[in-house]
Amino acid sequence: MKQREVAIAGVYATRQARSIPDRTDFDITVEAVLGAVEDAGLTLADVDGVGVDWPVPGPQYQDSQHWARFTGSPLRYTAEGMQDTAGIRGISKAAAAIAAGLCDVVVVGGGTAGPRPPGLIGRPSEFQDPFGAYTVPMFANVAQRHMFEFGTTPEQLATVAATIRNHGSGNPAAVMYGKGPYTVEDVLASRMVASPLHLLDVCLVAQGGAAVVLTTAERARDLKHTPVGFLGMSSEMRQGQWSGLPRYEDLQQVGTDAVARAFGTAGLTPQDVDLFNLYDPTSFEVIRQFEVLGLCAEGEGGAFIEGGTLTKKGACPTNLDGGLLSYTWNMIQQMTLKIVESVIQLRGHAGERQLDDLEVALATNSGSAAQHFEVALLGRM
């Protein structure tokens, strides 16, 4: 069976805010989906695949299978569950379905709004949550070991946090727009959450939605925008992110296999990347990912990010929208927003944060303490 080329034809991000109490998760999901479809120059009647879901147990009407009522035609592809309806993993599965000819137009996305959702403590994590082993301490464990082994400093972590937060200060769509400027000293002066991570080393908790529309490259070339395609894409899972406390020895190199596969498919090297949209739940995870990408050796990530490396004019412009640290973390669709920002930049629509001479953008997603990892390389078609 001949494989078809796949392109991103539409993207959309709703308003992101710490709280959106006057909206519902379904309401904001509908906005994201319709916005992405409109951005592509299509209508819901064109959609024959849906990967849309609420990230924690919710009303059944939010499941992808029920969207056939809204599209008005049979759905040839559906995906359920938060990992298959968001981010690189969800988008890659939708792209595979289109490439195989199972469907023609798929929308992937969702959103959160309204009252705060219930906590995620449950049977899969009942033996760690009572001891405070949540996401931040998981990342902190790995960061602390890295500091012990290689001499990585709190100031280096704070450099990452201050740089990315300052990017978000200039992004009108960011939750933290207009805040700052932040310094290394500001980060180190913020309260400790889980050593060595201070409050400003840790991502936001916010609400909002996002969606992406994929179709064949052939069809995308006749639509509104220059299509953006996948040069390479891969993922890996080492263990369930709530199944046990992470150890540095197990998790420091999570992502190396996915990175090798993605770059191998693309025929590129990490040095070919112009823009880095890295998943940044903590400042240390950015340092870890540069080591995983092979841009520096294990243990050298702290020194690598010094000297303005992550700034717009630096060697590795990173998270120019403010990332999870300043733009938003909205339960799950922040993973999708890494793709959305890559597309906006490749289209040349990023405004003041637009990176000149951009050819290759890299986006990553990762889980609690990096127990899973996804990577995508994107470029114009």
Sketch the domain layout of the chain as residue ranges. Answer: 6-115+206-220
Q: Which residue has the higher pLDDT, 204 or 63?
A: 204
> Nearest 5°: CA angle at 23, between 17 and 26?
110
What pLDDT digit, counting tens, does each position of 68-113 carry? 777 888 899 999 877 788 999 999 999 999 999 999 999 999 999 9
The residues pairing with 194 across neighbouring beta strands, listed in sequence order, are 197
pLDDT over threshold 90, residue 324: yes
- What's the pLDDT score for residue 292? 96
CA distance 335 to 31: 18
Q: Tell me which of 226-230, 250-254, 324-328 is least confident.
A: 250-254
- What's the pLDDT score for residue 255? 94
Query: Smallest Cα–Cα separation from 278: which of 309, 248, 247?
Result: 309
Count other C-beta atoms under 10 Å from residue 156's C-beta.
20
Q: Say which CATH class 6-115+206-220 falls into.
A: alpha beta
Q: What's the mean per-residue pLDDT of the chain?
A: 91
- What's the pLDDT score for residue 127? 60
Compute φ and ψ for 140, nearest 5 degrees: -65, -40
DSSP assignment, residue 22?
A: T
pLDDT over threshold 80, residue 50: yes
- What's the pLDDT score for residue 66? 73
Burial profile 22-37: b = 16 or more Cβ within 10 angstroms, e = fewer: ebbbbbbbbbbbbbbb
- Average pLDDT (136-155) is 94
Categorize the per-residue pLDDT at 191 as very low, low, confident or very high, splitting at 50, 70 and 90: very high
CA distance 191 to 138: 18
What pLDDT digit, counting tens, does each position of 117-145 carry? 545 555 555 666 666 667 888 889 899 99
Q: How far is CA 240 from the centre of its chain?
A: 18
Query: Smallest Cα–Cα separation from 296: which of 150, 95, 116?
Result: 150
Categorize the per-residue pLDDT at 264 as very low, low, confident or very high, splitting at 50, 70 and 90: very high
Q: How far is CA 8 from the centre of its chain?
A: 16
pLDDT over threshold 80, residue 192: yes
The reported pTM is 0.95
CA distance 317 to 314: 6
